[in-house]
Amino acid sequence: MYIHKEGRMWVIGTLLVYILLVMLFQNLIPDYNWILVILLGIPFLLIVNFFRNPARPISKLDDHTVYAAADGKIVVIEEVFESEYFNDTRKMVSIFMNPLNVHCNRYPVSGKVVYTKYHPGKYLVAWHPKSSTENERNTVVIETPFGSQILMRQIAGALARRIVSYAKTNEAAQQGEDFGFIKFGSRVDLYLPLTADIKVQLEQVVKGNLDVIAEI
């Protein structure tokens, strides 16, 4: 496991503040220093936990397998009309990430990035039905080698205030590699062809690069 590049300055800054506060309180109230070391260390450990990025290489790359693009809980599995790019009905699978989950987002399939677009918006709680169309969000579409297209939508939640995406139109997408990050609470929606065979269930907890969302 290592710290994601989006969180390195957060971790360094928090560590410096932690050290300075411990030194300050050690001089002011030395008798309770060990309690303060523990209490002040909790926020630092939470920051480290949030920005962790465990190494999870996919053991077998497969153009027909859609892996989880994020860690979290499956909160939606339904057929919906996707109006931004496809303008038709797709199977949508939504993964909700709480603040304790790994927040790195990974390419669920390999192929070519054919569309990207960032949308500013609101900060409704990530499980709100309107969050996928009204919240700050970023859309990425990948075309697989056999012609299927998968849409991924990063959605900011009530705590999230920054979506990061590295995907660029016409660039290659490699299954399992990082394509973005959402800071402090979020959701990722996957829009799949209607012929996709969904392999997860509602309320199931999944991990990026480890659990299979669907076969296409």
Active site residues: 186
Tell me how crowded residue 33 is: count the other CB atoms within 10 A of its CB: 15
Rounded to whole angstroms, the Cα distance separating 24 from 21 reads 5
How many Å is the maximal CA-CA distance in the chain?
A: 67
Q: First and final CA of the chain: distance in angstroms?
A: 31
Both tokens assigned to 116: 């990207």
d(CA 53, CA 201): 25
